[in-house]
Amino acid sequence: MTDIAQNETDPFVWFQRWMADAIASEPSEPDAMTVTTVGADGRPSARMLLLKGVDPRGFVFYTNLQSRKGGELRLNAWVALLFFWKSLARQIRIEGRVEPVTDAEADAYFASRARISRLGAWASDQSRPLSGRADLERRLKHFEDQFPGEDIPRPPHWHGFRVVPDRFEFWQGMEFRLHDRTVFDRAPSGGWMRGKLFP
């Protein structure tokens, strides 16, 4: 366990330290996270996404608003994130509410993506039934013809969300399953209350 666990009072600082460790040690996509939403029927739904930004405001990801997760987020803004780094025996659980990023933020990130990824955002009717791979390829070709250059606008159905956390849990695996668990809950004053949990 790193020495930051002994005295850190800001969970965002702790997150950044652990993410830096993960970037140095994980063989693939240390920014991968499970995003869990809840549907109108109360059923949870989880999937892996990539973290696209983090600052003291929260954690940012992007999606098709017409996807299952997009629809669920419109109905219920509460989400849970999970980062797990097996090589470090660490995980971070984050809970909070989503809010949309600004159009300027979404435009800037969309423009930074590879051309084929931007075209894919237009071509994919995400989460809807697909008759076969050829149908996706036909749709991709259509948008390649429609946008032949690098100037590809952000689709109106593609946007980002920021998870504004009110709870963190930092889990460090330890021998004999005597794991270390530290939680941070948002205080009414806006700061953070830190505590420990039994493993």
| Active site members | 177
C-beta separation of 139 from 161 below 8 A:
no
Alpha-carbon dihedral angle through residues 77, 83, 84, 89, given to the nearest 10 degrees: -120
User: What is the amino acid identity at position 44?
Assistant: P
**How many angstroms from the chain centroid is the CA of residue 153?**
23
162: which strand partners?
60, 99
Check the CA dihedral 61-49-92-37 and report its sign. Answer: positive
Residue 91 dihedral angles phi and psi, to the nearest 5°: -145, 155
Distance from C-alpha of 97 to C-alpha of 121, rounded to nearest angstrom: 25
DSSP state of 191: S
User: Rounded CA gap, 96 and 57, in Å?
Assistant: 11
